[in-house]
């Protein structure tokens, strides 16, 4: 975890009615509770180092 920095947990969840919606994906290795960081071209886990590349989106004309 980061030393001396606060984690903005409100960015990971959203409340809809009486339900909590998780906005980020979970790490498939670590399981629920560990979110993947979203970068421009990949998702990565800071705990175990799991890396998943994003699929390039095709532009429709």
- Residue 14 contacts residue 4 (beta carbons within 8 Å): no
| Residue 45 counted as an annotated binding residue | yes
In sequence order, the 6+-apart residues with CB closer than 8 A to the CB of 12 are 22, 23, 24, 35
| Residue 43 labelled as part of a binding site | no
- Check the annotation: does 19 bind a ligand: no
- Judge whether 54 is annotated as a binding position: no
Annotated binding-site positions = 27, 30, 45, 48
Annotated binding-site positions for Zn(2+) = 27, 30, 45, 48
């Amino acid at each position: 975890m980061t030393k001396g920095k606060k984690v903005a947990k409100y960015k990971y969840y959203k409340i809809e009615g009486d339900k909590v919606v998780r906005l980020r994906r979970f790490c498939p290795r670590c399981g629920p509770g560990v979110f993947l960081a979203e970068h421009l071209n990949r998702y990565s886990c800071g705990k175990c180092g799991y890396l998943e590349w994003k699929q390039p989106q095709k532009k429709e004309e």
